[in-house]
Amino acid sequence: MIMAQIENQIRYVINADGETTDVLIPIELWQQLISSINSDNASGLAWIDEQEPKAQILADLQESVQQPAAGQTSPVSDFWDYSRRFD
pLDDT by residue (tens digit) across 12-37? 999 999 999 999 999 998 888 877 77
Closest CA to 29 of 50, 55, 48, 10: 10
Say whether pLDDT at 40 is over 70.
no
Host domain of residue 13? 1-48
What's the one-letter identity of residue 68? P
User: Chain-wide mean pLDDT for the chain?
Assistant: 79
pLDDT: which is higher, 78 or 18: 18
Let me know whether 72 and 39 are in one domain: no
Let me know whether 41 and 67 are in one domain: no
12-22 burial code (b ≥16 CB/10 A, e <16): eeeeeeeeeee
Let me know whether 35 and 69 are in one domain: no
pTM above 0.85, yes or no: no
Closest CA to 39 of 30, 49, 31, 27: 49
Domain count, the chain: 2
